[in-house]
Chains A and B, each alone.
Chain A
Amino acid sequence: MPTEIGREDAQRLVAEGAQLVEVLPKEEFDEQHLPGAIHIPLRKIDPGVRASLAPDRPVVVYCWDSA
């Protein structure tokens, strides 16, 4: 299970080299996303997705909000 974090922790982790992953649909990612984020839509998250992520860096995922 991922660890839930807030904005300050997200900023700190990214500053330390974490990978930001937006899981929203492509249209929403294309419109607006956090700086440096990559796009992996929720429906495509499967074991194969590991190939697109650096294994030695933390991963921070996000969507619109917690609702």
Chain B
Amino acid sequence: MYDYTAGKLDWMAAGLPIEGAAASRPTAGTVARREVPTCHLEESLRDIRARVRAAGWDACVVVNEKRIVLGLLRAEQLARDGDGTAGSAMRPGPSTFRPHVAIEELAKTMAARDLPNVPVTTSAGELIGLLVREDVEKAAHARQGGPA
């Protein structure tokens, strides 16, 4: 007998196929952008800003060496003047979603709290990707039968 302790969340976080009535339903794990830029606490905000903008992003997730989410740099934090570090400028301990959360719930929460983006993590806090509100709203709208 074996116990796959990380379980269904870990499986979904890896983007592996699932079965069931909701298998084709978009979720946080399927909509999140996995190529989101990341940085470490000690990195210079100036360097991060240049790197993130060159990649076409306006956000960066602050992680440790195990990709555990420590904070989030949204456009507002990235735009700060000075030579600070990611650790000094970030929003620490940001709200996160687990990969199985349905797109409708994401859209509702992000709109209610006016969140432009939210990290998706495993239950251990490991980064899976970043949800961008525009992507979430498009996916939710498409589910309702509207134009994408």
Which residues on A are within 8 Å of B, measured CB to CB?
Answer: 2-7, 9-10, 13, 18, 22, 24, 29-37, 58-67
Are B20 and A3 in touch, CB under 8 angstroms?
no
Query: In chain B, what residue has the closest Cβ to A60?
Result: B2
Would you call the interface of chain B mostly helix, strand, loop, or mixed?
loop
Chain A residues within 8 Å of B22, by CB: 31-32
* A32 engages B6 (CB within 8 Å): no
Enumerate chain A residues within 8 angstroms of B4, measured Cβ to Cβ.
Answer: 5-7, 9-10, 60-62
Chain B nearest CB from A13 CB (Å) reads: 6
Encoded as 1 (CB less than 8 Å from any A CB) or 0, chain B from 3 to 24 comes to: 1111111111010111111110
Q: Which of B6, B12, B124 has the largest count of A CB atoms less than 10 A from its CB?
A: B6
Q: Which partner residue on chain A sits nearest B12 by CB separation?
A: A32
